[in-house]
Amino acid sequence: MTEKVTWPAIRAALLIQRWYRQYVARLEMRRRCTWNIFQSIEYAGEQDQIKLYNFFGFLMDHFTPASSERNLICHIFRKNEICRDIDWERYFCYRSIEVPDSYTGPHLTFPMTFCGVSKLVEAFKHKQNGLPSSDKPYVFNGDYVDRGKNSLEILLILFGFLLVYPNDVHLNRGNHEDHIVNLRYGFTKEVLGKYRVHGKKILKLLQKIFSWLPLATVIDQKVLIVHGGISDTTDLDTIGRVDRHKYVSALKAPKHHAVNGSTTQTMNRNREANLPEEGRRRVYSMNHCSSASAYRYNLQHRSLHSQSISSHLNCSVEEELKMRRRMAGFDQSYRKLSQSDSDSDPESGETTETDEHQWKQIVDMLWSDPMAQNGCVPNEVRGGGCYWGPDVTEEVLGRHNLQLLIRSHECKQEGYEFCHNRRVLTIFSASNYYEVGSNRGAYIRMGSDLVPHFIQYQASRTCMELTLRQSVGWTERSALRALREQLFVHKSDLISAFQEFDPHNTGKISLRNWASATEKVLNLGLPWRVLRPQLVNRTQYGMVDYQQWIRELSITEPKLEVSDNSILETMYKNHSNLETIFRIIDTDHSGLISFEEFHQTWKLLSTHLKMEISDKAIADLAQSIDFNKDGSIDINEFMEAFRLVDLSAHS
C-alpha cells in the first residue's frame, strides 16, 4: 500500500533541499576564496623571486666590474669553477667522501643494484603500482625539491631507480630544479642543514644534474609531458636540439659563443628512424643527443631482475658511468662538455639569436600556465613564462601530431583538471599543498589506449577524518592567517592609501574605498569585499575605522629594539628576498655572514627597492642580533628572530 505524501511534507523536503544547496554554495564560495588567497600569495612570491634575479642581472650588465654590488652576486652568473674541470667527476666520486662513524644510514655500492635501491625506497615498498619495467615505465614531472623537508631523500630514491631502470624511469625538469629558485624556497637550506661537511659539494653537483634533466617526455608519439606548458613559439624539434646543460638556471639566458649544431639531430628524425622494439612502451625523454639516442631506444630492458648482473658487478665505476651515460643519451665526453659549457662568466661571449630563442622556449616549458581565452600573453602573475589559450594548444599539438598535453606546475583542488577541450591535463601529486585539507593529490595510470585514469589520495589521515565543513574551516583559517601577515607588513602603505580616501582625517572610509585601497597596495587580485567579514570585525554605517583595524591585526613583532622602524617594515615586506640575498652572499655556505656582509646585503636590497637605509640603522640592527657577540650573524637565527606570529592562532 502506497503511503500518501502530503503537501506539507513536500514543502518541508523542498525547504530542506533549498537550505542544503545554499549551505553547500556558501562552503564552495569560502573554499574558492581560500584557494585564491593561497594561490595569489604563492604567485606573488614567485614574481618577487624573478624580479630580484632580474635586478641581479641588471647589476651584472650595467655596473662596472669593480663595483661592490656586482662583486657580491657575480658568482651566481658564472660557470661553476669545479665543474669546468674535465675531471669534475673524480672530484665528486663517492669513494672520496669521508663517512663519519656516527652515520647509521645505508651504505651503497656501485654499480647500483636493486638491493641498494631497496634500502632507499619507501614509496614503492608495498608495490601498489609495481616496480618500473618495459611495460610499466614511470614519468615524474618535475619539482622534486622545495616541497617539504625530505626533498633530498626523494631525489635519492628517484636517482636510484633511474640508475637501475634507465629506460623505464623518466625525470622531467621542473621550474624548481634551479639553484636560484632553491635559494628562496628551502632546498639549499635543507641540504646545508643535513650535510654540514659535504653540503656545498652536493649543491654544486645537483646544480649540474638539474641542468641535464630533460624538459619533456613523449609517450607513444601521442602524449607530451612537460612541467609548465607551451607557448605560441614552442617547437619540439628545437627542444630536442637544445644543449640543456647550458641553461643551469632558466631565470636568465646565458651569454656565450654560438655552438656548432652539426652534431645534433632533430627529435623527428630520431622518432622515425629508431623505434623501440616490439612490446616496449615508447616512452622517451627529449634529449640533446646524437646517435646514442638511437642506441638507447634499441637496448634490451635492463631490469636487474631479468638478467645476470655478474658482468655489471665486475665492471669498474668509470665503465658503469660511461654505459649509463650512453643509455641516457649523453654520449659526449666530458672534455667536449667542458668546452661547450656556457653557464660561464657573462663576459665570455654574446648571446646569439638561436640561444635567445631556445632559452625562451625553456622558460615557457617550465613556467607557463593555460588560460581559457585564445592567444598567448606574458605570465605577469608568476613573472615568467606565458599564459596560452586553447588555440595555441590546438596548433602546437596538431603540428606535432599529438593528442594530449600533460603538465603540472599548478595545484588543483582535486589533484587534476582538464582544460582546452580536454586536450590539456594538469596533474598535481602533492596533497595538502597549502594546508591540511586544502587539496587532494593525484597521479595517472595510462594504458596502451592512452586514456588517463586518475588515482586521488590524501596523505594526511587527519584530513580524511574531517567533514567538508571542518576541512573548509581549517584551510580558511590558515589562508586568512597568511593574508593577515601580508596586511600587517604593509600597514604603513595601507594607512597612506586609506588616507587618500579620507581628506578630512576622520579615520574612517567606506567599505568600497577600503577594498580599493587594499588591492592597490597588495595587488593580489582578491575579492576584498567578500573577504571583509573575515578581516574586519566591526563596521559602522558601512564605514571602516581603518586606524583601529590596523591596530587590531593580531600579529606579534620581534622583541628586538630597532632604532629605525622603516628598516623593520622593510625586513617584514622583503623577508624572502633578504634571505635569498643572504644565501647568495654566503658563498662558503657556512650559514654565517660578517657584519660587513650584512651591511652589503642591506645596501643591495635598498638598491633593488630604490630606497635609502642609513648605515647607522643597519649597524644597530646587526648589533642587536649578534646574540653571542662574536662579530658574525647566523642567517637562520636572524630570519627566525623576525618571523611573524599570528596571535589569533594561539588564542
The one catalytic residue in 107, 126, 176, 608 is: 176
| In 195-245, alpha helices (H) | 199-212, 236-241
E strands in 529-635: 543-545, 555-556, 592-594, 632-634
176 is catalytic: yes
- The two beta strands, 223-226 and 216-219, are antiparallel
Look at phi and psi of residue 502 and say left if phi exceeds 0, alpha if psi is from -120 to 50, else beta: beta
How many whole angstroms from its chain centre is CA 337?
27
| In 166-286, alpha helices (H) | 179-185, 187-194, 199-212, 236-241, 267-273
| In 300-425, alpha helices (H) | 310-314, 317-327, 334-340, 353-367, 390-399
Any idea what DSSP says for residue 388? E
All three cell numbers of 164, joined, read 637501475
| CB neighbourhood size of 292 (10 A) | 16
| 317 Cβ contact list (under 8 Å, min separation 6) | 93, 95, 110, 111
Residue-by-residue DSSP string for 554-574: -EEPPS---S-HHHHHHHHHT
All three cell numbers of 483, joined, read 593574508
Backbone angles phi, psi at 414, to 5 degrees: -95, 0
Q: Helix (H) and strand (E) counts for the chain?
A: 28, 19
Question: Which residues are known to be catalytic?
Answer: 176
